[in-house]
Chain A
Amino acid sequence: MIETLNIKGTEDSPEVIMDFQKGFIRISGTSWLEDAYSFYEPLYQWVSEYFKAPQKVTEIEFGYTYFNTSSAKQIAKLVTLISNFKSRSEVKVKWFYENGDSEMLKSGKKYSELLDLSFEFVEIESTSESEDEDEGVYKIVHK
């Protein structure tokens, strides 16, 4: 069985939870990594491993407040991988975006369309611009 991944978020790297037992994956916060490849490579490995014997249902949540272009590419790679394995598990993807952040919504739609993987889009209350200290806090307010 593969171990649960639990990576704390920082000012420029996202929080990651990848839980095999629950069939749950969540990446959230800010991804401004200089070297996004090195950060995302283990996530990519985990997901590859997971889909060898996945749970019946796999819930995946993306909750980015910001990501840079080098992260965008790694996210593309990860979503491509997930899309390739979607026949093996019932994959449910949620894409969270801050209230009014049309760019982030657009990015999610782009990944969803280009990879033919349906996303549920969930608007959440803005956390990143309130007072910059609590950057990356992941508070979901279902609408």
Chain B
Amino acid sequence: MSSDNNIAKRDFVIELMKSTGKDDLNYIYRGEFTQNLQQHILSLAEKNIDRDRISGKIKKRIFHIMVESIQNISRHGDAKENSEEMTSSFFSIQKQNKWYYITTGNIIENNKIDDLRSKLDKINSLDSEELDVFYRAVLGNGQLSNKGGAGLGLIEMVRKSGNKLSYHIEKVNDEISYFYLHSDINGITLGEAPVQPLGSVYTVDYMVNLHRFILDNSILLIYSAVFDQDSLLSLISIMKSRMSGGLNSKKKIISIMVEMLQNIIHHGNVTVSGISGCQGIFYISLNNGKYCLTTINYVKTTDKEQLTQKIDHINSLSDEEREDYYNERLFDFDSDESFKEGGLGLIEIRNKSKNPLEYQFFDTEDEFSLFKITTYINI
């Protein structure tokens, strides 16, 4: 891995946002993988992919590989219950130019590495016919481990993707290592002009770096895509299951999330390079009992000043003044297309988080700027 590949050194999320095109997806979840969470995590990815203009057959394959991948984490993950390692596992899916990249990372005990490596190398060495034969042999053999895997899942992933698995094993200490598993799936149907994944950044090396970045920054989830109410609801479901803590703090975070994500949906619908949609990024981190929620979306550069004034004004008010300001707007029914008016949402975010709103603009080449807003919530 070259040093300029070190994503942590740049403003990674801004880069990510800029590189995620309208039809692209960049989604990483880190943490526990309970049954309930697995469902919600997959549902968000499925909703996104469901809209893609690729064949239903390929969609099914992608879903299948996603399920196998996520099950691999819980099946083969060797982290001890409630240990810090357990929350270092991740599931991620990226898509770009109709190619899909599914990667997982989890803890594995060092004494299992040789076996895993030989299994993977064996599977990767077979052509598709040999793979079928091997699959039936393993199936008939019945040497299923108590965690249910004899490599069947891995074989399935290769069979469904039609591509070899990439993997990487990185030593953590004398006992454990991180195991990264990566699948590439071509979403292009036969007959369509082939697009080579050449030059794609989404390699296993990239994912290892990304994992390091999210661990260093205590990030729980990154979602970079086009936003709508459906993806909002899935994100909420994930975070509801993921968060611990009392009802009040959970509700506070959920409510702030709703306002932040709906701000993207209401204000971020811009047409950049001829493509319209509410493109944005949402990420959340948890560090020393402090949640940090960030969204980034495009705004018209001409709206920058007004938005700046609005946020500066909200930040300048005392608690009492802010309460009055909120109530005044709450009962202002004159502007009744007001569901599009972001004022209330921003005041609410400020009120609930009890911390000033942090924001920043980044210029792009055209008439749009990137608007980044961050909220801190102590729990």
Contact = CB atoms under 8 A, between A and B. Distances in A.
A103 B252 contact: yes
B311 to A, nearest CB: 15
A99 B347 CA distance: 25
B255 A11 contact: no
B330 A70 contact: no
B229 A102 contact: no
Interface residues of B, number: 34
B36 interface: yes
Given A103-B252, A132-B237, A34 B265 contact: yes
Given A101-B248, A110-B327, A32 B339 contact: no
A114 B255 CA distance: 23
A95 interface: no
B336 interface: yes
B254 A69 contact: no
Contacts of A126: 247
Given A68-B262, A73-B330, A132 B241 contact: yes
Contacts of A73: 329-330, 333, 338-339, 344
A110 B328 CA distance: 12
Interface in A124-140: 126, 128-129, 131-132
B339 A101 contact: no
Contact of B259 (A35, A69, A131): A69
Interface string B227-264: 00100110001001100001110111011001100100
B115 interface: no
Given A34-B262, A72-B344, A100 B248 contact: yes
A121 interface: no
A36 B339 contact: yes
A100 B337 CA distance: 34
Nearest to A111: B330
B331 A35 contact: no
B247 A68 contact: no
Interface of A: 11-12, 32, 34-37, 66, 68-70, 72-73, 76-77, 80, 98-103, 110, 114, 126, 128-129, 131-132
